[in-house]
Amino acid sequence: MIFMIYFIVTIKSIEASTQVCNGPLGMISGEIRDWQITASSTLWDTDCHEKHARLYQSENRAWCARHKSDSEWLQIDLGIAAKISGVLTQGRANKEEYVMSFMVSYSTDAFRWQYLVDRYGNQK
């Protein structure tokens, strides 16, 4: 299963205002609030809410998509323009559920999305 991770940056001029960051953007600390995380679907289980799509949750908490489909996605509104240099994922240990692969896209307006590509133009 492949799922999409969408990042929204909410300022107009990304070139002029992109912040340099050498550490986590707030998914662990809670600086990125629960309302900034949305998902295509969520399994009907209190431990599977999209707000649990953070690292180091208890072993039964995680975001769990309702359907095992390539069209599932998780969207994170960063609130700022930022250069993303890596994405960490963590599975749901007690159920042996985890991400096998994912693609990343980004937007400055939540309407027009671009996929992250490598230097050869391959989607990442």
Assigned domain for 87 exists = yes
CA distance 58 to 40: 23
Assigned domain for 90 exists = yes
Assigned domain for 122 exists = no
Predicted model pTM: 0.77
Assigned domain for 23 exists = yes
Identify the domain containing residue 76 by its residue range: 2-115
CA distance 81 to 116: 15
Assigned domain for 124 exists = no
Q: What is the pLDDT of residues 76-106, one digit of tens each?
A: 988 888 877 788 888 887 777 788 888 888 8
CA distance 99 to 114: 21
CA distance 81 to 95: 35
CA distance 79 to 82: 9
Assigned domain for 121 exists = no
Assigned domain for 103 exists = yes
Q: What is the pLDDT of residues 8-64, one digit of tens each?
A: 544 333 444 555 566 788 888 889 999 999 999 998 888 989 999 988 888 788 898
Q: How far does Cα 1 stand from its chain's mean position?
A: 15
Assigned domain for 25 exists = yes
Q: Looking at the 3D structure of the chain, how many domains does it have?
A: 1
